[in-house]
Amino acid sequence: MGDYVVDLGALRLADADRAGGKGANLGELVAAHLPVPPGYVILKSCYEEVVSHGPHGTELDALHTEALDVASDSAGPSAQRLDELCAHMRKLVHRAPLTAGVRDAVVAAYHHLGDSVTVAVRSSAIGEDSATASFAGMNLSRTNIRGDDRLLDAVVDCWASLFTPRVLTYRARRGMHERPDIAVVVQRMVTARRSGVAFTADPATGRRDRVIIEAARGQGEVVVSGATEPDTYMLDAKGPTLIAARTGQQSFAIISGPDGDQRIELSEEETATQVLSTDEAMLVARTALQVQQLHDGKPQDVEWAFDDTRLWLVQARPITTLSGHAEMKPPWPAPAHVLLRGLAAAPGQASGAVRILSSPAEGSTLRAGEVLVATMTNPDWLPTISRAAALVTDSGGMTCHAAIVARELGVPCVVGTRTATTTLTEGAVVTVDGSTGQVRAGRTEAVHTEPRQVAPIATAVPTATRVYVNLALPEIAERVAATDVDGVGLLRAETLITQALDGHHPRDLIARGDGDLFVERLSKSLQRITTAFAPRPVVYRATDLRSNEFRDLAGGTRYEPEERNPMIGYRGCYRYIREPEVFTLELTALALVRERTPNLHLMIPFVRTRWELEECLKLVDAGPLGNQRGLHRWVMAEVPSVVHWLPQYIGLGIDGVSIGSNDLTQLILGVDRDSTTCAELFDESDAAVLDAIGRIVDTARSHRITSSLCGQAPSVRPDFTEHLVRMGITSISVTPDAVPAARRAVAAAEQRVLLEQALSAHNAIR
């Protein structure tokens, strides 16, 4: 049974790769004799046996890859397409038959907990609840489950929750493109009378000498889901002693009923009375600080519950984000001349037009850079939050799931304002300060602190072929720069550009005289990335939005043509020479950044012909960027014509070529990689594609310029990586999560090549 299920007490943090972060963290608490309800973990091997290696595993992998591409779309994911793919994937999971071994092991462990006991069934995805990714509320949990059949159904539901739009968007935004795996925690239910969350550091200010507790009546999902405004308690970690308390606004509670979860309305007396006494708040704080001590002093996010007699811990995980502010601020702001006051849930400051939405289904109406205002937050809002400049809600606490995710994504967030959806006016420009919990009228430029410079670290596995990283978000630059990477091989401009444009079409911005503002915003974002990676190179791919994506920006319909096939339409290099005023703004921002961090370089995408590249380079040379020493000029090799034209491109001054294997494969094989009907035709290792890649690399090597490849294949296929190494490619560029595996694959391929060369030389001597 050990291959399928393991008792919580037998698990440690080292087991996170098979029990998930939630299961491994709970195992550590049990081992430390902290009060944890008894339970066990259904290991990821069960999911792999039933789903990954089941009858639909191959189809599921293909759909998952496509769904990640949709969720990663630089202009915002297609909600309809993502919903369709996710629904199909969940259906495949539910169709997978449970094997006898898995079924018997899960049921036997359940009976070991007692006779038809009530349990909580909670997802524990691999990588969840880690130091860098909380997956807060992303995957499913079921409470008050009783009976064998209901238990097994809940387990499969947890497995299927890997494939929801919110999970796919979260993974895509965090660069997690590998096949997902999941374990499931089963624990005896606590009859929760009061419950909530404790942070052993203030998530709004980053102070390590504070404990923040949020509490509500009944079960804790009303706190973490943002369904209600909980009571908030601030304690000094020394002691601990209570510093301040704020009564929330809770009108209902979720409790255990005979047929599962039950919602009950609270009386006026219950609503007006604080959930915890001072002694109870101090007990929660002391216990949470014990969890922190168990994890070498690293701040923790702890979920807890009181039954009729005692305190229980039901979950613990590292706090994934903390700001660096050291000043004393309570989690609610002091009175000020503001439109709204709420809880400071995610630090930072951003301005934008208000967009009031009533449900995640309306998310597609929010334009990039607008301020999302909603009644409450839950993980289903994630695809929308990822495009918002800031988030403001009526209810919820600063430890609710969406607030945690907002902090991870760097989206300023104020929750628990109570009246945001009625006080704020649709379209009005406001400034959201997630550090103070204030929403002010008008626009105020955000104050950015200079990021620390991260020095290059020694590579764990030295390789001659460089391993670069693909990057799109400045928010994660420092963390990625501290890993084993040689630089940024592909800095996608699209996210930076849409943020800098504040949701507007660039020509609309120019017409309003805001070109300088665009340059300022773009250069700030770029500076954060280049500083983090200095002196390692950062290769910036200029804007490559297609006409349909540009049309979605404010004012876009006035400037963009309607094309039947935008993928091979008005984009890339040709657009720059037709609209030089827009491209010039980008070049100006790059020149400003290179004055301080000269490790930034330019890559021109979708180059079709020699003459358009020549005209484009004239634009580069005409401005301040062209006069800067040390600038490398790259082209993306996406159009098959590059095989013929590359020598002449090099003659024009190009000194780097990066192969965009996704587009190159589409155009060589004539297949849309987003087509499920033709999915089996899309193959980056097709002989015709490999021949083109080989010829590009050969040309680059013979002319002594840099060659690289950025695409999905090196991230997931070691055999493809070996092909590239044998061709003599200079570097590969992969997603952040794929760097360790890519480095190992490169090192192994290089060792095999050297061994073969040594054997060949030895045989020649003989």
- Percent of the chain beyond pLDDT 70? 86
Q: Which domains does the chain have, with CATH numbers?
A: 5-188 (3.30.1490.20), 194-318 (3.30.470.20), 340-441 (3.50.30.10), 466-758 (3.20.20.60)
Which of 400, 573, 616, 710 is an active site residue? 710
The average pLDDT across 554-564 equals 85
Helix (H) or strand (E) holding 244: strand 241-246
* pLDDT greater than 60 at residue 457: no
Give the Cα separation of 392 and 330 in Å (integer).
18
Residues 6+ apart with CB under 8 A from 350: 371, 389, 390, 411, 412, 431, 432, 446
The average pLDDT across 370-380 equals 81
Chain centroid to CA 391: how far?
17
Residue of 616, 624, 505 lying closest to 556 (CA atoms)? 505
Please state the φ and ψ torsions of residue 244, each to the nearest 5 degrees: -155, 155
Residue of 523, 674, 652, 654 lying closest to 591 (CA atoms)? 523
* pLDDT greater than 60 at residue 676: no
User: pLDDT by residue (tens digit) across 717-749?
Assistant: 777 888 899 999 999 998 776 788 788 888 888
* Span of 34-38, 435-439, 589-593 with lowest mean pLDDT: 435-439
pLDDT given at position 565? 85
Contact 347, 407 (CB under 8 A): yes
Asked about 400 being catalytic, the answer comes back as no
3-state secondary structure 75-140: CCCCHHHHHHHHHHHHHHHHHCCCCHHHHHHHHHHHHHHCCCCCEEEEEEECCCCCCCCCCCCCCC
Beta bridge partners of 355: 372
89 token code pair: 């994937």
Output the CA torsion sign for 420, 421, 424, 428: positive
Higher pLDDT, 147 or 349: 147
Give the Cα separation of 543 and 541 in Å (integer).
7
pLDDT given at position 666? 87
The average pLDDT across 357-362 equals 84
Contact 188, 162 (CB under 8 A): no
The average pLDDT across 702-725 equals 83
Give the Cα separation of 485 and 467 in Å (integer).
6
pLDDT given at position 608? 96
Residues 6+ apart with CB under 8 A from 670: none
Residue of 542, 610, 550 lying closest to 580 (CA atoms)? 542
Which of 295, 401, 505, 723 is an active site residue? 401
Specify the DSSP class assigned to residue 61.
Answer: H
116 token code pair: 């038809």
CA separation (Å) from 364 to 79, 355, 459? 7, 11, 42
Contact 204, 323 (CB under 8 A): yes
Amino acid identity, position 540: Y
Give the Cα separation of 598 and 700 in Å (integer).
24
Chain centroid to CA 498: how far?
17
Give the Cα separation of 348 and 412 in Å (integer).
5
Could you count the other beta carbons within 10 Å of the beta carbon of residue 437?
Answer: 29
User: pLDDT by residue (tens digit) across 390-431?
Assistant: 999 888 776 666 576 676 566 888 988 888 998 898 888 889
388 token code pair: 């918002």
Highest mean pLDDT among 66-75, 181-190, 196-205, 360-369: 181-190
Residue of 46, 40, 34, 42 lying closest to 8 (CA atoms)? 40
Asked about 710 being catalytic, the answer comes back as yes
Mean pLDDT of the chain: 84
* pLDDT greater than 50 at residue 577: yes
Could you count the other beta carbons within 10 Å of the beta carbon of residue 216?
Answer: 29
Give the Cα separation of 411 and 475 in Å (integer).
9
User: pLDDT by residue (tens digit) across 109-159?
Assistant: 999 998 889 999 999 988 754 444 444 456 788 888 999 999 999 999 999
* pLDDT greater than 70 at residue 617: yes
745 token code pair: 């694959």
Contact 234, 225 (CB under 8 A): no
The residue with tokens 């490849």 is 709
Chain centroid to CA 624: how far?
35
Contact 401, 225 (CB under 8 A): yes
Specify the DSSP class assigned to residue 229.
Answer: B
The average pLDDT across 672-678 equals 61
Give the Cα separation of 580 and 574 in Å (integer).
10
* Span of 68-72, 163-167, 290-294 with lowest mean pLDDT: 68-72
* pLDDT greater than 70 at residue 335: no
Highest mean pLDDT among 65-69, 346-350, 470-474, 647-651: 647-651
CA separation (Å) from 609 to 36, 93, 105, 638? 66, 47, 62, 12
Give the Cα separation of 280 and 435 in Å (integer).
28
Give the Cα separation of 496 and 633 in Å (integer).
20
Higher pLDDT, 562 or 551: 562
* Span of 8-12, 535-539, 554-558, 671-675 with lowest mean pLDDT: 671-675
Give the Cα separation of 273 and 245 in Å (integer).
12
Highest mean pLDDT among 168-172, 480-484, 527-531: 527-531
pLDDT given at position 404? 64
With vertex at residue 342, the alpha carbon angle to CA 340 and CA 345, rounded to the nearest 5 degrees, is 130
Biggest CA pair distance of the chain? 95
Give the predicted TM-score (pTM) of the model. 0.49
* pLDDT greater than 90 at residue 3: no
